[in-house]
Amino acid sequence: MLNENHALIFDFPEYKQDIVYLNYKDETFTTLSKQYHLLDYDIRQLEIDGSPTDDEHMHQLKLQRANLKDLLFQQLKAHHDSPITTS
């Protein structure tokens, strides 16, 4: 679907508390999250503008976004499943 917002909180609502916590406490997660959201925004802007780029470039951007999302999901899941209580 074009122009769909893939913000982590929208795609992983069950991890909302983990997303908020990791964004404040984990520098690596914060950096990757910022990269992910900027890339998602850029992709959505290209889609709104009628994709003024070639298909290969758009494919590479979406692949980058998917790879970042996978990394972030792994961190979210590990944090969520961790038996250590974080407050």
User: What is the structure's pLDDT at 48?
Assistant: 86
What is the maximal distance between C-alpha atoms in the chain? 47
Alpha helices in 1-87 (DSSP H): 8-11, 16-25, 27-48, 55-81
Domain boundaries of the chain, sorted by first residue:
8-79
Global confidence as pTM: 0.85
> Please, which residues have CB within 8 angstroms of residue 84's CB and are 6 or more apart in sequence?
none
What is the b/e burial string over 12-41, where b = at least 16 CB atoms within 10 angstroms of the residue's CB? beebeebbebbeeeeeebeebbeebbebbe
Along the 87 residues of the chain, how does pLDDT read in single tens digits? 567 888 999 999 999 999 999 999 999 999 999 999 999 999 999 888 876 788 899 999 999 999 999 999 999 999 999 876 555
